[in-house]
A and B are shown apart, each in its own frame.
Chain A
Amino acid sequence: AQSVSQHNHHVILSEAASLELGCNYSYGGTVNLFWYVQYPGQHLQLLLKYFSGDPLVKGIKGFEAEFIKSKFSFNLRKPSVQWSDTAEYFCAVNTYNQGGKLIFGQGTELSVKP
């Protein structure tokens, strides 16, 4: 069965530090890849997505992610974090060709110190 693994459970950074959150998935077929964010007290919202084409995708609020097919990875990056980036981040994989089920990783809690 397909699965998604996020390497970091809790990341603590100071403002202006660079961010990289790891995400690996296990599925050999065609995938759609997503990062969702959940700010405190709010619902899940899409940060960015990869369907095809350029493996470096840019999302909202200065976030980007790179799809490396050979590594089954889709890591999230931001050059300089802000206090307002404090949130929980979820990587997700949709294996559309297997019925479209959307599978999430365990999430990474990011705390940014002002």
Chain B
Amino acid sequence: GAGVSQSPSNKVTEKGKDVELRCDPISGHTALYWYRQRLGQGLEFLIYFQGNSAPDKSGLPSDRFSAERTGESVSTLTIQRTQQEDSAVYLCASSLAKKNTEAFFGQGTRLTVV
């Protein structure tokens, strides 16, 4: 596609429910990132996929968070048993998996846990 696409753009969920966030990267981009941006804060790295390598999950804040990516296509970020502190904008970015290239960001999914 022309850009990184994320869905839904907004999600309101009740505490304790599971949510799935979707990211469609730019076609041909083998690297994909998920970040969390809490209100008034910076971008917190969550997870990074690069091609067929094992993902870097070092940023996932708890075992309630998981992400999958099939090949070089869509990725889903799943948050189980959501808590109010999970409320944030979840950003996805993709890039070519080579040196000297920049990441392109989607519009994000604003998650509100009530």
Contacts and interface: CB of A to CB of B under 8 A. Distances in A.
**Pair from one complex:** yes
Interface of A: 6, 32, 34, 36, 43-46, 49, 51-52, 90, 92, 94, 96, 99-107
Interface of B: 31, 33, 35, 41-43, 45, 48, 50, 53, 56, 91, 93, 95, 97, 99-100, 102-108
Contact of B100 (A32, A44, A104): A32
A103 B45 CA distance: 7
Given A43-B107, A51-B99, A104 B48 contact: no
A6 B43 CA distance: 12
Given A100-B50, A106-B42, 10 more contacts: A44-B91, A46-B104, A49-B102, A90-B42, A92-B43, A102-B93, A102-B95, A102-B103, A104-B42, A104-B45
A101 B105 contact: no
Nearest to B4: A43
A46 B99 CA distance: 16
A43 B48 contact: no
Interface of A, helix, strand, loop or mixed by DSSP:
strand
**Which 9 A-B residue pairs are closest in the complex by CB-CB distance?**
A106-B42, A104-B43, A44-B105, A51-B100, A107-B42, A43-B107, A96-B99, A46-B102, A43-B105
Contacts of B95: 102
A43 B106 contact: yes
Nearest to B6: A43
A101 B91 contact: no
26 contacts: A6-B42, A36-B105, A43-B91, A43-B105, A43-B106, A43-B107, A43-B108, A51-B99, A52-B100, A90-B42, A96-B100, A100-B48, A101-B45, A102-B45, A102-B48, A102-B95, A102-B103, A103-B45, A104-B35, A104-B42, A104-B43, A105-B42, A106-B41, A106-B42, A107-B41, A107-B43
